[in-house]
Amino acid sequence: MVAIRPIVVCVAALLVFTACRRNEPPAPETAAAPATTSSVATTSSNPNPPDPCATSTAPGGVSQIPPVQISGSVPVSVPLPAQINSPTQIRPNFDWFSWEQFIAFNWPASSTGRGNAQSPNDPNTFLKAAAGTQTVWGTYKANWEVFNQGNARPTPWDSWQAAIPAQCTKAKPGERELLMSSKGNTVLNDGVQAFSFPLVDANRNYLFYEVRYGRATYDFIRGADNDPSSWLYLAKNLSPPKQQTMPASTSSPYSLGAVMIKAAWRDMAAVPKSQWSRYYVTTAQVYDPTTTQCSAHDVGLVGFHIAQKTKDFPEWVWSSFEQVDVLGGLLPNCAAGDTNCSQVHGFAHRPTSITLEPDPSKRTPVNAARLNEIPTTPPGAATTDVNATFQKALAGTPWAYYQLVITQWPTNGTTFKPIENGGAYPCWSGQPFPANGAVNLTLETYFQSKSDGFGAGGNSCMQCHYGAGLYDYSWGLKRRPHA
């Protein structure tokens, strides 16, 4: 078990931007009304009821980056100041939370069980870890361990036993298998319409993706052994659909709630060895479209999403990281003069099919631009400043070559109503900040603009996942259950 991280949430800070935990799933007829609204008072004494989507500001409040902590204990709350005047003001607090999660999830894993950190209170365990050391999140359960087990019941959390996907028959228990060629689709479920297309890097290699679940998420989906109706990996137990609510993280007592992680990997074969120290590199069984089987490759982490559901932010806190060489290195910059690429879409040469091209010579590298800049506000404590602070603290490790590109969070956790009950984004998705443009170049290359993201549910984490709001923002839980 990891040690408890001493973080205190200042509850008074939530008086301006309310973020109360969602209670038990409301019945459809009551879900439409925000928790603070009285229908009687609204009709009898207030002909102009308050807008449930409105936000207010208050004077005062400064922006400050909390001190860096090199710890293997996952933070479960955001340390907020006593006085808040805007979401921008408290951005460094959320960015700090994102970075501290990044450190804790990438901490060297204990050899005991799954999801446990080795010596979480010793910073040198992280700062001096050998290249390729297994990370805590790398021991989390892969999505196929719960959704691709056929008639077999998924194994308990600490077990490494699972039916390995047929494409990776040479893999051993505990080895990483990379099968997903686009974030919304996978060869394990290629009958489902993809959210996106494959991504071809500068070396004409495909990027590959994986999704992993923390213990609270996995156990919630796996259900209780003595209650087959709670086995949510079975579609019949999600019919008819009803609101699902996963466990939330709490600080008192300390409890790590639901966590979902998505990662993007590049093939390191064509990357000069002199640059490998700039990546977290590990070995994985990677799907080969030529042989239609997996084989061992050295892969480097280039994109990383973290979503954690907390007591104070029930629509989850969403954090997204990239390796610093993604733009211009992994993905070539837009060609000079191609404003359609650099200003309109943020990409060029997107593959025309979700089917993987077996012949690398027939693949075209995707060009890219960053349409949504890494935030430079508030001055002196912007995301760019938080990045510099953490990169300095992590100097000498591969983790110093990663950067946070965005943190997105609900500013009012009481305003939730799923689409199925008449909800609409952004109001009924917890009023996210920022509402749009929260994307990652490796994970949402083709959804950087509002127009391109429209058909896929939006161009931010919370907008896209709001489409699965009834399933507590988990597309895996909505799309992957089987008969």
CB half-sphere exposure, 362, CA atoms < 13 A: 9
Q: Give start and end residues of each alpha helix (H) in 68-130.
A: 91-105, 123-127
For residue 131, the surrounding DSSP H or E stretch is: none
Share of the chain above pLDDT 90, in %: 77
| pLDDT class of 47 with cuts at 50, 70, 90 | low
What pLDDT does residue 475 have?
94
CB 19 within 8 A of CB 413: yes
Buried b (16+ CB within 10 A) or exposed e, 72-91: bbbbbbbbbbebbbbbebbb
DSSP letter for 287, please: E
Closest CA to 107 of 95, 93, 119, 94: 119
What pLDDT does residue 184 have?
60
Residue 100 vs residues 93, 224, 457: alpha-carbon distances, Å = 11, 32, 29
In the chain, where the domains are located: 11-479
pLDDT tens-digit series, residues 205-255: 999 999 999 999 999 999 999 999 999 999 999 999 999 999 999 999 999
| pLDDT class of 42 with cuts at 50, 70, 90 | very low
pLDDT tens-digit series, residues 382-412: 999 999 999 999 999 999 999 999 999 999 9
Residue 150 vs residues 10, 292, 421: alpha-carbon distances, Å = 46, 21, 32
Closest CA to 251 of 30, 42, 80: 80
| pLDDT class of 181 with cuts at 50, 70, 90 | confident
Compute the distance between CA of residue 449 and CA of residue 465 in angstroms, rounded to an integer.
17
What pLDDT does residue 10 have?
41
Residue 20 vs residues 23, 374, 410, 418: alpha-carbon distances, Å = 9, 28, 10, 17
Q: Is the pLDDT of residue 425 over 70?
A: yes
Q: Where are the beta strands (DSSP E) in 268-411?
A: 281-288, 293-308, 317-323, 347-348, 367-368, 402-410
Paired with 368 in beta bridges are 333, 347
Q: How many CB atoms lie within 10 A of CB 431?
A: 27
Q: Is the pLDDT of residue 32 over 60?
A: no
Q: How many CB atoms lie within 10 A of CB 363?
A: 19
DSSP letter for 324, please: T
Paired with 293 in beta bridges are 288
Amino acid occupying residue 90? I
State CA 467 to chain mean position distance.
15
Structure tokens belonging to residue 213: 């679940």
Q: Is the pLDDT of residue 34 over 50?
A: no
Higher pLDDT, 169 or 212: 212
pLDDT tens-digit series, residues 268-325: 999 999 999 999 999 999 999 889 899 999 999 999 999 999 999 999 999 999 999 9
Closest CA to 180 of 297, 98, 262, 74: 262
Here the contacts of 278-281 (C-beta below 8 Å, separation 24 or greater) are: 278/323, 278/324, 278/325, 278/398, 278/401, 279/323, 279/398, 279/401, 280/106, 280/132, 280/135, 280/398, 280/399, 281/131, 281/132, 281/398
**Residue 263 contacts by C-beta under 8 Å, 6 or more apart in sequence?**
209, 210, 212, 301, 303, 304, 305
Closest CA to 133 of 141, 122, 125, 123: 125
CB 237 within 8 A of CB 192: no
Beta strand 432-433 with 347-348: parallel, antiparallel or unpaired? unpaired
Share of the chain above pLDDT 70, in %: 85
DSSP letter for 340, please: I
